[in-house]
Amino acid sequence: MEFDWLNCPFDLKKTPPGEVAEAFEDPFSIRLLPELEDDGETRYFMLGKTVENRYLFSVFWTNGKQYRVIACRDCTEDECSFYERKNAEWLA
């Protein structure tokens, strides 16, 4: 899938598009249930890890052809622990 980076609402200097894409390609990423917004757009949550072992938390929207990342930041310590714990459970 393609990413829509036009008018990106977060700082792409802090979190470059290539790193965000790597986190989305992470085969062990965790996609959480969507949140339905009042405007009818469904937003999804994802925890993923880059090749450089940077953990990222993303909020995104998709139409099935494109991703539109609404927010992306480094994971908190609790989110990193959750990512590792869930992957350990699934791989055990």
CA distance 39 to 56: 26
CA distance 30 to 15: 19
Give the residue numbers spanning the domain of 77. 2-91
* 8 A C-beta contact, residue 60 and residue 46: yes
Instruction: Give the pLDDT confidence score for residue 40 in this predicted structure.
Output: 67
Domain count, the chain: 1
How does pLDDT run along the chain (92 residues), one tens digit per residue?
899 999 999 999 999 999 999 999 999 999 997 766 666 678 899 999 999 999 999 999 988 899 999 999 999 999 999 999 999 998 87
Instruction: Give the pLDDT confidence score for residue 38 in this predicted structure.
Output: 65
CA distance 47 to 74: 9
Instruction: Give the pLDDT confidence score for residue 64 in this predicted structure.
Output: 86
